[in-house]
Amino acid sequence: MGAPRALETGDGRSRRAHGRVRAWGGIDLGGTKIEAVVIGPDGRPIGHARHPTPVEGEPDDVVREMYGALEEASRAAGLTSRMLVGVGVGAPGAVDRKAGTLARVSNVGKGWVEPYPMASDLADLAHRPVVLGNDVQVAVAAEYRLGAGRPYRSVLGVWWGTGIGGGLILDGVPWIGRGAAGEVGHMVVKPDGARCGCGRRGCLEAYAGRANMEREARKAANAGEKTELFELMRKKDRPRLTSSIWMKALKDEDALATRLIDRAIRMMGVGIASAINLTDVGAVILGGGLGTRLGPTYAKRLFHAMHPHVFAVERQPPVCVAALGELSGAIGAALLSEFFQ
């Protein structure tokens, strides 16, 4: 992974402070886990930590766990969080970067609606400046600069995990619209369809988001349908059906897991193809917990699910798995911090 030009000085030398390589922290806030990294001037992670997201946590509980992950990642890099130049956070929901607040969060902790001052609360703990960004947008930006998106001028990122997030890079520029562009998970794929966590009906996330698939699996299991999903959850001592559990169930040809994933792929094919027809980007980058875990085989299946719905089939874009894996969001958050210092 080569050094991005934006992380170098004008004469190409890595930026240093007091003889020590400068470092930035990045946090990817997810529904089941918090990924934290520390990167150096070349964009490479030099420290990493993963903590579970508090299942029943209030916003301040979530922030404390984020700080714990950041401090652990800093120690792995031989630093402390107070030695970082700055910290970036990629978070789901409605991000107000100027105010440093996060609102309308449905898949983290107990969830919350009103704006919460996440940047200032985390800054108070870390004693470093903190900047917020949309979780998928920063992850897609990292993939564009350092990973699977490098060969393309325009990409659509689809992050398949607890929910379905999206991010756009158009002709080399991140496109956020008025703040909510790229929300492919809330494109309607079935009018008056299944209820989504956002409160609306028929969203792609209602069929393909891991949280909604788990709710559907519980309904089926309570109705008597056989599945190993929840037995695997108990064996792994997990509070939720994680990506690894879905993967194991698919390998074991669990009928319920297979049916729900098949439905998710089918609905994703409809929604993503519609986004392609609108934007005509050069590639789709598939990331997120499920996207990276299921990997190239399911990326290929998604490509074929899109095909019947793509208008310009002669130039249907490839579906590439995120090259930075599950760290793309945290790396992108750290890069976001670098830009705003």
pLDDT of residue 340: 56
pLDDT above 60: residue 18 = no
Domain residue limits, the chain: 5-139+328-339, 150-322
Q: Which CATH class is domain 150-322?
A: alpha beta
Pairing of strands 101-103, 87-91: unpaired
pLDDT of residue 282: 97
Task: Determine contact, residues 155/281, Cβ cutoff 8 Å.
Answer: yes
Token representation of residue 98? 């100027």
Task: Determine contact, residues 301/267, Cβ cutoff 8 Å.
Answer: no
- 5-139+328-339 has CATH 3.30.420.40 classification: yes
Chain segment 137-186, per-residue pLDDT in tens: 999 999 999 999 999 999 999 999 988 999 999 999 989 887 778 889 99
What pTM value is reported for the model? 0.82
Q: How many other C-beta atoms can be found within 10 angstroms of the C-beta atom of residue 222? A: 8
Establish whether domains 5-139+328-339 and 150-322 are of one fold.
yes
Buried b (16+ CB within 10 A) or exposed e, 28-60: bbbbbbbbbbbbbbebebbbbbbbbbbeebebe
Residue 171 CB burial class (10 angstroms; 0-12, 13-18, ≥19): exposed
pLDDT of residue 19: 44
pLDDT of residue 16: 42
- State the Cα torsion 307-293-134-82 to the nearest 10°: -160
For residue 213, what are the CA distances in angstroms to 73, 164, 194, 294? 32, 12, 11, 15
More confident residue, 240 or 71: 71
Split at pLDDT 50, 70, 90, the class of 10 is very low
Do you know the residue count of the chain?
341
pLDDT of residue 12: 33
Return all residues near 92 (Cβ < 8 A) that are at least 6 apart.
29, 30, 31, 105, 106, 107, 108, 134, 135, 136, 163, 165
Return all residues near 143 (Cβ < 8 A) that are at least 6 apart.
149, 155, 157, 285, 287, 322, 323, 324, 328, 332
Chain segment 308-323, per-residue pLDDT in tens: 999 999 999 999 999 9
pLDDT of residue 177: 84
